[in-house]
Chains A and B, each alone.
Chain A
């Protein structure tokens, strides 16, 4: 069963409704979050039928809300499209994402952060780290590990935040709208 795929479709349905200005009832939001939590619980032991049933119940509650609201807002055809998408999601193979794993090279108790290469500020990060006498290690896949004294590390994050804010302000000046 593609519970996570199904969840993603109903979550998208809720987001679309919210985008249209509909206030989503807190019970529906609770059901949506509960479904996600339970999906992760089921990952730990996929043989638990009771958890599986509970997930389906939560998802159905959200689905029925979204479908009825969606019908009022967008009409039956639009909702039918959603429902087809939902059916396909249920059947689809679910790909589990690998979470970040242990980093044995870091001493226990040391203060550190790791910066993803996706950020465009990796060079700046190295520069700030040097200025603050923090150590940098470039790891596999381009991750930058910065570690050192707690106060210096805090200052490093402050500098990065200030730089990002300045970047946003500059962009607003160039493209005010």
Chain B
């Protein structure tokens, strides 16, 4: 049976046909690399070559000094042609290093690049078992045998190409989103900038000054906002909501609802005469409700676009604005919401953050005591263009306070509220303290109650010193409660000064709370629409925290600014530019190539045809499986990342992961455990973390017992319980599953979590059946944890030795019939009337 993938770009449908293909005469070539003395200095190459020649279907074996060098590659090409090789195994270094090199080589020789496999005999044998060369050679033989076993079952695959729309959508017009838009527009791409609010600018436009330079915020951001509006490649879609996104990398179709402003944007000149005429004022959210705005107005004078909006919740329809607008004819009370559809090849999400208003924290009296305010409220007070004209005054009596206390970490770093650090509060509090001291000099006393002052960026520590020099008093300790003095409305702060080691009381005329920053309201909805995941803190999850910090787990979607995690302005600007560059890697290409290591559903076996199933769709971390009633599940190929979690989760064995099929992995297991299985640790290692960790152990020359036989999978989520059962059926001494650390390190978002749940259930069952619990081990090893990997293998090996060969054998004998029965049951095919096309993968 062979899968043939064909792509029709016009219809954008890819058909996978299950084709009976009788006898392809296999001719496998094995190339053993010396890697100078890196391999040949430890392993017996002659022995390996001789051994490889005995393996089934191997017709040609050759060793060479450096297989990756040009002469080595030429030898492969020559051998493929001269010996009519149709499969190639290279026994050399880690596939993480040279798999792409050799794929190119076999492709140049005229073979399909996916008919190639590597045996990692350097990092996994010569480098980590250098003091036991014989055992290392035996292990290397097993590794070559496993590679040959897999390569015999490999199928030719083609990369899938999809066309690309050379436009981008940026969601959120804050500083990160604006920067991303401007960068992409400068590169020549059309950019749609979607803004939910009335104006772009985001939080930065609300600030008075920026730290540590104390630049006027709107003075530096305002011209940028205008640049965005004036750029011919940028179209701002303001006052609008994202309704839906369909498609995949390079080809997104986006539906947007433009909300009515009741003002015709093109006719509005921004003169403000309507505002002058309007008789109604209401609290201005932009000013944290400290100021007022008219029922027809813009939220602030520097708004972009400068188009006024009628707030129908407050408008009494006196039509004075219509009269004032006159010949401009910009007012239209009949305006309706309008739905539009746009196309984009890449999406940048830059939706920003919100601030926690601590009404629910009774200790600090926010909402109850008028002179307890949040830092953003303070920001609006001290801003010259703010509701008080820059005067810091108390809400209770309109007087200037002479003592102001700032309390840090209100809600942040609080396990009961928001356990994370909000990142920028220390710095903006320093800014406020400095502003107060510089404005009112000796006339104001400033206290800062802090847990830790975090000033770890360029110029930040100097900024902290400046605050100290200005006479700001820093109190290391948390405020336990605030009591209001009824007569004066002053506030008594009770705290513990950790430096003095005793409780203190300070009377302040105003208290400013540095409250936590939280995910933006509506983040959940955006996550749902875009199929993004959020971390435990509610912010969007990146594809990989270290290697892909700007990529969302869905291809073609990128993250910028505080929506991914809280960050200050310079970092947000950098990330906006970074996300623009990442997006450009997609939209600058005429077509986008997708790795064919994807999942394929066999509709003959899919349970959803006869019963409601959908487990695969629910468990797919990338939301790339579509489920319709009474229809087989369909994989949206362009969205599939090839983790294989769905394959392992499918109760009907109806899904296949290309290049990592069940048969291929089972063949590797069989080859690894063919001799002395009870003395071996069979390990399933995920490509991105634990396999890389094992590579690092080798690179670092950390030695560990040579009893481990690793099987590489793309994600630990691919590890089917059948693999474990089969390993024990074949007599494995121990089974180890290596995964990325929980909860966030998984390259495929949650594959490790799925595996964990699956293996916990399996472990319980096997224990009940009589398996010693230590024989199945799940462990989390990152790419940087070479030592941990080496220590882990030592520990598992010691446990295996402690159990003893006899006990292991006895357990295996007892288990075998049960396991055989379980595996047989699962392998039974489902027979049903079959449609003509066996399976269809959806691209569009």
Contacts and interface: CB of A to CB of B under 8 A. Distances in A.
Contact of A118 (B219, B279, B319): B279
A113 interface: yes
B291 interface: yes
Contact of A18 (B216, B225, B267, B393): B267
Interface string A43-54: 111001011001
A165 B219 CA distance: 43
Q: What secondary structure prevails in chain B residues at the interface with A?
A: loop
Contacts of A103: 292
A77 to B, nearest CB: 22
A64 to B, nearest CB: 16
Contact of B388 (A32, A50, A102, A157): A102
Contacts of A99: 291, 385
* Interface footprint category on B: 35 or more
A26 interface: yes
B304 interface: yes
Contacts of A115: 279-281
Contact of B270 (A36, A50, A121, A161): A36
A45 B219 contact: yes
B318 A119 contact: yes
B334 interface: no
B668 to A, nearest CB: 63
Interface in A116-165: 116, 118-119, 121, 143, 154, 157, 160-161, 164-165
Interface string A34-61: 1011101101110010110010000000
B672 to A, nearest CB: 67
Contacts of A40: 222, 301-302, 385
Contacts of B303: 37
A73 interface: no
A44 B282 contact: no
B226 A44 contact: no
Contacts of B283: 106, 112
A22 B290 CA distance: 42
B226 A37 contact: yes
B271 interface: yes
B269 A14 contact: yes
Contacts of B359: 109
A72 to B, nearest CB: 19
Contact of B385 (A33, A37, A43, A51): A43
Interface string B630-649: 00000000000000000000
Contact of B315 (A34, A41, A143, A161): A161
Nearest to A162: B317
A119 B279 contact: yes
A51 B223 contact: yes
Nearest to A113: B282
Interface in B237-269: 266-269
B328 interface: yes
Given A29-B266, A37-B303, A44-B384, A108 B370 contact: yes
Interface string B267-297: 1111100000011111100000111100000
B193 to A, nearest CB: 14
Interface centre among A18, A37, A44, A107 (most CB of B within 10 A): A37
Interface stretch (B306-314, B477-485, B501-509): B306-314
B270 A44 contact: no
Given A29-B266, A36-B270, A101 B291 contact: yes
Contacts of B397: 104
B218 interface: yes
A112 B291 CA distance: 12
A102 B393 contact: yes
Contacts of B384: 44
Q: What secondary structure prevails in chain A residues at the interface with B?
A: helix
A154 B314 CA distance: 8
A33 B222 contact: no
Contacts of B398: 102, 104
B327 A18 contact: yes
A89 to B, nearest CB: 14
A160 B280 CA distance: 11
Contacts of B370: 104, 107-108
A19 interface: yes
Contact of A36 (B230, B306, B314, B329): B306
Contact of A54 (B223, B290, B367, B388): B223
A18 to B, nearest CB: 7
A116 B281 contact: yes
A50 B223 CA distance: 9
B395 interface: yes
A69 interface: no
Given A29-B266, A37-B225, A116-B280, A109 B367 contact: yes
9 smallest beta-carbon distances between A and B, as pairs: A41-B222, A40-B301, A160-B316, A119-B279, A116-B279, A161-B317, A33-B306, A114-B281, A19-B327
Given A32-B269, A44-B222, A160-B316, 5 more contacts: A37-B270, A99-B385, A103-B292, A107-B370, A114-B281
30 contacts: A15-B327, A29-B266, A30-B229, A30-B305, A33-B306, A33-B307, A37-B304, A37-B306, A38-B226, A40-B302, A43-B301, A44-B216, A44-B302, A50-B223, A99-B385, A102-B290, A102-B291, A102-B381, A102-B388, A102-B393, A108-B289, A108-B370, A113-B280, A113-B314, A115-B279, A116-B279, A118-B279, A121-B318, A160-B316, A168-B319
Interface of B: 216, 218-219, 222-223, 225-226, 229-230, 266-271, 278-283, 289-292, 301-307, 313-320, 326-329, 359, 367, 370, 381, 384-385, 387-389, 393-398
Interface of A: 8, 11, 14-16, 18-19, 24, 26, 29-34, 36-38, 40-41, 43-45, 48, 50-51, 54, 99-104, 106-109, 112-116, 118-119, 121, 143, 154, 157, 160-161, 164-165, 168
